[in-house]
Amino acid sequence: MPRRTATMLASTLILIALLCAGVLIRVPYSEMSPGPTVNTLGDARGEPVLHISGHKTYPTSGNLNMTTVRVTGADYDMNIVEAVYGWLAHDSVVVPHDTLYPDGKTEEESTQENAEEFSLSQESAKVAALEELKIPVTSRVVVSTVVKDSAAEGVLHAGDVIKAVDGAAVERPEDVAKLVTKHEPGEDVVFTVIPAKTAAAAEKAGKEPEGSKDVTLTTRKAPEDPSNPSEDRAIVGIQAGTDHTFPFEIDIKLADVGGPSAGLMFSLGIIDKLTPGKLTGGKFIAGTGTIDDDGKVGPIGGINMKLVGARDAGARYFLTPDDNCAAAASDTPGGLTLVRVKTLDDAKKSLEKIRAGDTAGLPGCSAG
């Protein structure tokens, strides 16, 4: 066999072997890519994303699209070929598997966690929107969860309204932990609560719940924190949360979406439906960002994938959380204008500028 032919044959066989190895060898990486975008002013699967009843609503136009990121499953192992292709592709990102599924988290656990975050973000989006419109919302601090085998198990229950701890009024969930941790482990702490059943019955009747009672619990030492092993922190074994009572019904319907990052766009959609005029001015605007009850916009993951998804869907402007601005500005798809937002009010004011055509005055993002 001529030397040249033999060399080509050997090279071909080596290439085939490398390709086979690349397909068969699995690597601990996962892929993120642009997911679907959904107009919060429109429909999804034949029904409105935002359904409001019991209050006057107004026609809307344009788009206020929430954005998503598609990720490979927790049980899927990429091969070397897929990983290299993902690294080279502009519209996807390959990251270590543990980045998306830390501590060996399963896909089912991750889905459940994302669903819970999505539900909480909907509540905060409603509260923030109504507070922005000066529509009163009744909020109460409640027992969100009770830890198994804790001091609170069987004494406090999910849904109990926490009025006070040691006689000090409770305004926010974080107040509970602050008051409990004033104690040393082994000391008694007194909770003033309204039982969940009493609170639910009052809410159903449209009344403020009454009939509080005092419950005494003996604190225990919190599990050791590796970052602060010398700390002896007192706990009772509950997670406090906030329960809201809205003056009318706001229903957010969107399947197969998880995580908290749609909060800002839900709030804007609610505001647009509850106020006269067109918030977008008919423009195609997309965005992302968590939101809390006070309207503060927080950062999210996968910002660059969301930018690509928004641009591909037709968006011209992208509402970008302040903490994501630098990363977004470092790789902005052509034709998309970034708009920096820190609060829901910031976003509203920027939409006013877009509507008026004053785009030169928009707060932008810098990669520096």
Decide if pLDDT at 10 tops 90. no
Per-residue pLDDT, 22: 46
The tens digit of pLDDT for each residue in 241-269 reads 998 889 999 999 887 787 889 999 999 99
DSSP 71-133: E--TTPPEEHHHHHHHHH-TT-EEEEHHHHSGGG--HHHHHHHHHHHHHHHHHHHHHHHHHHT
Per-residue pLDDT, 174: 94
Two tokens, residue 98: 């543990």
In a 3-state reduction of DSSP, which class is residue 5? helix
* Cα–Cα distance list, 331 to 65, 92, 151, 270, 336 (Å): 20, 13, 51, 30, 11
Nearest to 165 by CA among 226, 234, 119, 264: 234
Decide if pLDDT at 26 tops 60. no
Place of tokens 């896909």: 107
DSSP code for 153: B
* Cβ atoms of residues 291 and 298 within 8 Å: yes
Break the chain down into helix, strand, coil percent, rounded to 5. 35, 25, 40
**Higher per-residue pLDDT: 211 or 296:** 296
Per-residue pLDDT, 337: 96
The tens digit of pLDDT for each residue in 160-195 reads 999 999 999 999 999 999 999 999 999 999 999 999
Lowest mean pLDDT among 4-8, 21-25, 49-53, 350-354: 21-25
Taking residues 49-55, what's their average pLDDT? 95
Nearest to 166 by CA among 174, 158, 175, 157: 175
Give the span between the Cα atoms of 332 and 330, in whole angstroms. 6
What is the average pLDDT value for the chain, to the nearest integer? 85
Nearest to 309 by CA among 99, 71, 96: 71
Per-residue pLDDT, 208: 77
The tens digit of pLDDT for each residue in 77-122 reads 666 656 555 555 566 666 665 666 666 666 677 767 777 788 888 9
Instruction: Name every residue whose Cβ is closer than 8 Å to that of residue 96 and which is 6 or more positions away in sequence.
Output: 28, 29, 30
Decide if pLDDT at 48 tops 80. yes
pTM score, whole prediction: 0.79
Taking residues 16-39, what's their average pLDDT? 67
**Region of residue 139 (phi > 0: left; psi between -120 and 50: alpha; otherwise: beta):** beta
Decide if pLDDT at 72 tops 90. no
The tens digit of pLDDT for each residue in 227-238 reads 555 467 899 999
Lowest mean pLDDT among 1-10, 19-28, 161-170: 19-28
Taking residues 271-280, what's their average pLDDT? 94
Per-residue pLDDT, 131: 95
Chain centroid to Cα 90, Å, comes to: 25
Lowest mean pLDDT among 198-202, 275-279, 352-356: 198-202
Give the span between the Cα atoms of 15 and 101, in whole angstroms. 34
Place of tokens 């085998």: 149
200 confidence band (pLDDT: 50, 70, 90): confident
Place of tokens 């009024």: 169
pLDDT above 90 coverage of the chain, percent:
58
**Region of residue 341 (phi > 0: left; psi between -120 and 50: alpha; otherwise: beta):** beta
Taking residues 65-70, what's their average pLDDT? 91
**Higher per-residue pLDDT: 5 or 239:** 239
Give the span between the Cα atoms of 239 and 133, in whole angstroms. 30
Give the span between the Cα atoms of 303 and 3, in whole angstroms. 53
